Each structure stands twice: as C-alpha cells, then as structure tokens.
Amino acid sequence: IAGITQAPTSQILAAGRRMTLRCTQDMRHNAMYWYRQDLGLGLRLIHYSNTAGTTGKGEVPDGYSVSRANTDDFPLTLASAVPSQTSVYFCASRDTDRAGELFFGEGSRLTVL
C-alpha cells in the first residue's frame, strides 16, 4: 500500500538520550515535512525538505535535526531529548505542484521523562 511509514509508533525515552524517528515514503514526492502536534497548538512545522539533498527550518526547529539523503527517507533526530519534546510527531509528504495534497504518516508518540 502506497503511503508514508513512520517508526516507531510510540516510544518512552529518558531525558538526555538521543532518538531518531524514521519516515519513509513510496510516492516519489519531492517535498517532505516533520510536524509536532500538541494539544491546543495544532500541527507545527519542525523541519522540511523540498527535494533530496536540501533541508530547511520550520517554526520550531530547536533541538531537532533532519537529513534527506534520498527521495524516500526523511529521519528526524533529537540529539539530547528534553521533556518539552514530548509530543506526537507526524511525517508528511507532497508533490511540489502548488495545489499538492499533504499525505501524513500515522504518527510517532514520543514521551520524554
């Protein structure tokens, strides 16, 4: 089934630990995104990539890093997790045409203790 796959589905992590959330898409979309979703705040953009080899900062990039070595994969890394990074993380992708629909993964629920 075509779409976006995120892993892990959920994770409990000790503060200070390093964590990588994985995201893979098989739709050959150029653009990929990482969002975090917190109650009352909606979806906020962390980092994005308009095409393989390029990345950019979103609204809340601090404490996160991304890479885009190829079209399909877009991992999000927390170098040293803090409790404020407890959230649900969604990866998304879309065609770069201007009306492109966003396709979301099912989310990764991260708890930092």
Partner 1 sequence: KNQVEQSPQSLIILEGKNCTLQCNYTVSPFSNLRWYKQDTGRGPVSLTIMTFSENTKSNGRYTATLDADTKQSSLHITASQLSDSASYICVVSERNYGGATNKLIFGTGTLLAVQP
Which chain residues interact with partner 1 by CB under 8 A? 4, 31, 40-45, 50, 90, 92, 94, 96, 98-102, 104-107
In the complex with partner 1, the residue whose CB is nearer, 47 or 94, is 94
The two tokens of residue 29 are 């979309």
Find out whether 38 and 87 touch, Cβ atoms under 8 Å: yes
Least distance from partner 1 to the Cβ atom of residue 34, Å: 12
Contacts of 42 (CB under 8 A, 6+ apart): none
If you search the block for the tokens 């927390």, which residue do you land on? 78
Residues in the chain: 113
Residue number, 58 or 75, with CB nearest to partner 1:
58
- For partner 1, the closer of residues 19 and 23 by Cβ is 23
